[in-house]
Structure 1
Amino acid sequence: MPTVKFTANLKRFYPKLTEVELESLDLKEILDELENLHKGLKDYVVDEQGQLRKHVNIFVAGELIKDRVSLSDEVNPEDEIYIMQALSGG
């Protein structure tokens, strides 16, 4: 099962957010499962069209996802998925 991990910055908004293993191998379904565990998290990660928000990055197996629009990047059972805020500024 893929393991989903989060940065400390996201835990500031969702204090009960913890590393979790999920059954799905589809990023959209993973976000749905996370929403069931942490209400409002999905809206923080994706916009109204289901596209990844500009201030969020997702890494699968150490690689930044390529498809920010439909979230179709492949997920394997042994993958670690990191969801984090994108940092900007100087």
Structure 2
Amino acid sequence: MPQYDANRTRSRTVPFAVVLQSAALGHLRTRLVAPLIDSADAAAAGYPTRTPRFTLAGRDLTLDILQATAIPRGALLPAGRLAR
């Protein structure tokens, strides 16, 4: 899973995440990711307007870098399944 790719996740609460981890660490069992959250939720929570925003699968999403975390690589679905 290449760095900066957006992927679907197996989570119902966080359906999308961006891979932040370098491919040089691809041998690890985890991936460092930041979730993509609904932009309306981000605005209600007071996120800065300069926070990166994306449209994926018809949804307006904001990169929640403050919630970056490592997750098992099996928790990410292949990027090819993501409708852009």
Q: Shorter-normalised TM-score: what interval?
A: under 0.3
TM-score (norm 2): 0.28
TM-score (norm 1): 0.27
